Amino acid sequence: MSFEEVLALPVAVNVSTAAKAFGIGADKAYRLIKQGAFPAQTIVVGDTVKVATASIRKVLGASQ
């Protein structure tokens, strides 16, 4: 995922999109989330997990 694509993400994204931003697969991202080791803030809504885009940008140094 390019710098421009990261900057264009909505406020929260699904785990697959967040994983792409970090250059890892979705399975690894879910494992890291389960272990409490995912580098960005996750938001659990029922059975759905979202990732806060601001935290992805912060970790990647891609703040606007």
- Helix, strand and coil percent figures for the chain, each rounded to 5: 50, 20, 35
The range of the structural domain enclosing residue 31 comes to 3-60
Name the residue type at position 8.
A
Structural domains counted in the chain: 1
Decide if pLDDT at 64 tops 80: no
pLDDT tens-digit readout, 6-46: 888 899 999 999 999 999 999 999 999 999 999 999 999 99
Q: Which residue has the higher pLDDT, 36 or 62?
A: 36
pTM: 0.88
